[in-house]
């Protein structure tokens, strides 16, 4: 049996313990543990505190994993919104947008999501899994230890099942936790002859039971937007999903406001995007249990404004930050770069930034066992070669973790 491990010392151990799950956080609420250590057993944290005290307490009962100083240790990151199971490129969309076309114009002209659907349909399960694994590995090197991945580039019963199977196959090849989400409602497929509502009904009737039978996903997402589904179309679909026991999430208020209110009303786990949210929606999200997921990578990819993260936090919202990595609006896939650029633009404290990619992102995935370093939580953590945790946001993603640990095991160095 594996012995307990004492890991440290860390110049700063940033546990993020006892920070609030919602609302603004001041940086002086982050209490770095100087010369800290972690004791890990069976994938979990069993003790945390000052390294010298832990060394005295455990003596030779533990295996010692010595970390070279300077080092900063903090919780593994959770990227709670990605679309990395896709094939092909949309470099041409990016060039067209930079030459003046809008995201919605490109979508309406048959480009956008639909062009990725065509490439993704041509890929086999194995090819798609390989592409997904390759992108997930890039995120692991950035310190991501829990990763949400959506389907949504299949847009037929068979093709959505294929993508979700590819996500499962990729999960078997990765050392981190993968949370799959069904986004069959990404847009009405151009080759479906009925109405948008008929498409959603067909998905609910035929795909939901397969998700359950094959254990492919317990989360249902929908893109509510002019180029995708209306609020009126989304409501019965989401209600049905909820009735069938799925967690529901909504791509809301990206260009057109309105869907975040629907998300809150239906008890969605999260409302994601929110770039176009109104003051009333911000107030509502500030009181709601629904997590506000902001996606600065989409603003950077599209060259438009950021979601109002500061106002959401001040209204009391639980704000998570994710990459939205996808071939269209957010091709970059760099979580810390995006979060720190957002923090500079929106005036987020370092504590709010870190909360957004750790324990607040865990809530967006209904996970309570991770996101801070605390006794009983999973031993998922990152170690950086610096003596000041503020360097991580300050260097805007160019300072990389020297080690990434998942479930008490070193998975990258």
Q: Which residues bind ligand NIG (CB under 6 A)?
A: 83, 112-113, 116, 223, 251, 254, 298, 324, 326-330
Please, what is the minimum distance in Å from the beta carbon of residue 332 to ligand NIG?
12
> Who's near 270: CB < 8 A, 6+ residues apart?
80, 81, 249, 250, 263, 290, 291, 292, 293, 320, 364
The smaller minimum CB distance to Fe ion, of residues 177 and 324, is found at 324
219's contact among ligand NIG, Fe ion, none, with CB below 5 to 8 A by partner kind, is none
Q: Min. distance of Cβ 270 from ligand NIG in angstroms?
A: 12
Residue 352 sits in the site that holds Fe ion (CB under 5 A) = no
- Rounded distance between C-alpha atoms, residue 358 and residue 289, angstroms: 17
Q: Which long-range contacts (CB under 8 A, 24 or more apart) does 286-291 make?
A: 286/312, 286/314, 286/315, 286/316, 286/317, 287/315, 287/316, 288/264, 288/317, 290/260, 290/263, 290/264, 291/317, 291/318, 291/319, 291/320, 291/360, 291/363, 291/364
- Phi and psi of 229, rounded to 5°? -115, 150
Least CB distance from residue 181 to ligand NIG, whole Å?
Answer: 12
**Strand segments (E) across 259-356:** 270-273, 291-294, 319-321
Kindly tell me which of 241 and 300 has the beta carbon lying closer to ligand NIG. Answer: 300
How far CA 169 is from CA of 145, 183, 253, 355, in Å, comes to 17, 18, 32, 30
Q: Does 148 bind Fe ion (CB under 5 A)?
A: no
CB of 338 to ligand NIG, least distance (A): 13
Q: Work out whether strand 381-384 and strand 403-406 pair parallel, antiparallel, or are unpaired.
A: antiparallel
Interface characters, 287-326, with Fe ion (x: CB under 5 A): -------------------------------------x--
CB of 105 to ligand NIG, least distance (A): 13
To ligand NIG, the closest distance from the beta carbon of 223 in angstroms equals 5
- Rounded Cα distance between 214 and 278, Å, is 39
Which of Fe ion, ligand NIG, none does 73 bind, CB closer than 5 to 8 A by kind?
Answer: none
Decide whether 90 or 406 has the Cβ nearer to ligand NIG: 90
Query: 328 is in the binding site of which of Fe ion, ligand NIG, none (Cβ under 5 to 8 A by kind)?
Result: ligand NIG
Q: Which is nearer to ligand NIG, 30 or 294 (CB)?
A: 294
Kindly identify the residues of this chain, within the stretch 223-262, that bind Fe ion according to CB under 5 A: none
161, two tokens: 């099942």
Q: Which residue is nearest to ligand NIG (CB)?
A: 328
Residue 113 binding partner per list Fe ion, ligand NIG, none, with a CB distance cut-off of 5 to 8 Å that depends on partner kind? ligand NIG
CA–CA distances in Å: residue 367 to residues 15, 74, 257, 379: 17, 18, 28, 14
* Smallest distance from ligand NIG to CB 381, Å: 28
**Binding site residues, Fe ion, CB under 5 A:** 324
């Amino acid at each position: 049996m594996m012995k307990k491990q004492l890991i440290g010392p860390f110049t700063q151990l940033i546990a993020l313990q006892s920070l609030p799950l919602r609302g603004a956080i001041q940086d002086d609420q982050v209490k770095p543990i100087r010369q800290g250590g972690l004791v890990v057993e069976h994938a979990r944290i069993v003790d945390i505190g000052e390294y010298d005290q832990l060394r005295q307490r455990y003596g030779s009962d533990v295996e010692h994993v010595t970390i070279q100083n300077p080092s900063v240790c903090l919780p593994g990151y959770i990227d709670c919104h990605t679309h990395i199971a896709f094939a092909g490129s949309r470099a041409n969309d990016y060039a067209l947008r930079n030459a003046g076309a809008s995201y919605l114009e490109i979508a309406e002209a048959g480009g956008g999501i639909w062009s990725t659907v065509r490439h993704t349909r041509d890929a086999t399960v194995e090819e798609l899994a390989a592409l997904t694994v390759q992108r997930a590995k890039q995120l692991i090197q950035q310190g991501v230890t829990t990763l949400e991945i959506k389907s949504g580039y299949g847009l037929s019963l068979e093709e959505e099942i294929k993508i979700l199977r590819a996500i499962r196959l990729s999960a078997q090849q990765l050392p981190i936790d993968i949370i799959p989400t069904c986004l069959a409602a990404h847009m009405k497929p151009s080759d479906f002859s009925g109405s948008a509502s008929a498409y959603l009904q067909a998905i609910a009737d035929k795909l939901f039971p397969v998700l359950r039978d094959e254990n492919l996903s317990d989360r249902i997402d929908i893109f509510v937007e002019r180029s995708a589904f209306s609020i009126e179309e989304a409501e019965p679909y989401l209600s049905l999903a909820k009735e069938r026991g799925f967690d529901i999430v909504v791509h809301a208020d990206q260009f057109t406001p309105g869907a975040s209110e629907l998300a809150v009303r239906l008890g969605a786990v999260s409302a994601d995007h929110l770039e176009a949210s109104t003051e009333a929606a911000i107030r509502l999200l500030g009181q709601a249990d629904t997590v506000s997921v902001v996606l600065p990578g989409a603003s950077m990819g599209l060259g438009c404004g950021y979601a109002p993260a500061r106002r959401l936090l001040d209204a009391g919202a639980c704000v998570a930050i994710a990459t939205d990595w996808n071939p269209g609006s957010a091709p970059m896939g760099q979580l810390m770069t995006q979060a720190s650029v957002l923090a500079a633009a929106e005036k987020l404290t370092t504590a709010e930034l870190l909360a957004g990619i750790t324990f607040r992102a865990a809530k967006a995935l209904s996970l309570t066992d991770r996101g801070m370093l605390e006794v009983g939580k999973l031993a998922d953590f990152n170690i950086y070669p610096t003596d000041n945790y503020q360097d991580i946001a300050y260097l805007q993603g160019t300072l990389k973790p020297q080690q990434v640990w998942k479930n008490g095991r070193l998975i990258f160095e």
